[in-house]
Structure 1
């Protein structure tokens, strides 16, 4: 193997008598630079035509505005850091709890059950169908709503024949009424919070079997 040694091509600045690339200078105008420029302006102004007070005050106002914007940016950065820390603390408290989200499908292991609630519109019978990936109803739950509101339900993971339903994705369909009066109802499922992610848009809950959902979609945490 041929070793590659240092040549003049390794340092293109050598031809100009420089050992390394010149250091890039900060071209921004800082507070000290602004004050120095104003001092020099006052020292070299024309005695017969001195700087107008209005112009001088205008420059001071511009300097105050620039300095204020810089202070505000620092304050906003500190506030954002505090809010992110607060989100992290809230996220840690949610792990291990059950969260109820507006979703009707869940990935279950063999014989695994799930609980949730139905948004009932009126009192009366409510039917919940558990449908597998092939579109076949494996279980049918009959509930009775006492009025409009949340109607809790639970499925133990057993099929209609009494055996455990195999692992897979299951969808829950709820309805009330009969015939032409049949109405579909909203389903909400509960699952354990496995972890929480802090995204630019806010907190995202990673739920067992339900995937990731933003905190805004969570109806209840228990």
Structure 2
């Protein structure tokens, strides 16, 4: 008759393999089939262990409960990981559909970059409060102010502006990358303004970490999660 120890030694590595499988999720159909096979193997080993146990030293209820508990935990972790993988796949799919609906639309992302192309550039900013006077300063990469664009009085919230590509003297500047600074005040009280870069969504790329948007202008590619507003 086979000893209990030899069969237990066969069951214990099986626990280890279950826990090892639990630590790495695959989310594939083959892993589901493998899980079913592992469950069948466990029960076969357990039945064999009980059938061949020493009648003078049978497996105690405590030991049996411990073995079943180990399997239940490992099997439960596998089930949870499978559910999470399915949920994440669904979230990524939904984000992909949402991102695709933005193609052709203008969106804002954090930053103060301006892309001058075809004699025009557009930027945006978010005013923390109503302002009686707002100025947008267009600057080069060295921080030198090239043009001041008066915006007048504006309400709190998201605002946008368009620059015609000329400096303060009316001279047309070359196409390329610029930046902007917003100065806002309500009487003598300063008003904070958060700058945003604007770009038209030209395409969407789906990846494991979520969709990526291809924007016109300096921004290039940005994560879908970085979009602040749809203009």
What TM-score do you get using the length of structure 2 for normalisation? 0.70
Q: Which 4+ runs in 1 deviate beyond 6 A?
A: 180-184
Query: Residues 198 and 145 of structure 1: is their aligned pair in 2 closer, same or farther, counting only changes over 3 Å?
Result: farther
Q: Separation in 1 of the partners of 2:126 and 2:58?
A: 80
Matching residue within 180, 197, 214 for 2:223: 214
- Summarize deviations over 1:82-136 as a string: whole Å, max 9, x none: 2222122122112211002221112322413214235254422221121234544
Matched position secondary structure for 1:94: coil
DSSP-derived class of the 1:91 partner: helix
Inter-partner Cα distance in structure 2 for 1:37 and 1:138: 80
In structure 1, list runs of 5 or more residues that go unmatched.
1-25
Aligned partners of 1:175 and 1:90: how far apart in 2? 34
Distance 1:151 1:88 in 2: 28
Aligned-residue RMSD, C-alpha: 3.0
Partners of 1:196 and 1:188 lie apart in 2 by 20
Unaligned runs of 5+ in 2: 1-13, 19-37
Q: In the alignment, which residue of structure 1 is the partner of 2:82?
A: 74
CA–CA distance in 2 between the matches of 1:166 and 1:205? 27
CA contact (8 A) 2:96 2:210 kept: no
> SS state of the match for residue 212, structure 2?
strand
1:133, 1:168 within 8 Å by CA — same for their partners in 2? no
State the TM-score, normalizing by the size of structure 1.
0.72
- Which residue of the partner structure matches residue 108 of structure 1? 116
Structure with more helix by fraction: 2
Match of 2:94, SS state, is: helix
Q: Are 1:59 and 2:67 matched, yes or no?
A: yes
**Measured at CA, do residues 82 and 207 of structure 1 come closer, stay the same or move farther in structure 2, by a change above 3 Å?**
same
Give the number of equivalent residue pairs: 196
Aligned with residue 188 of structure 1, among 183, 192, 196: 196
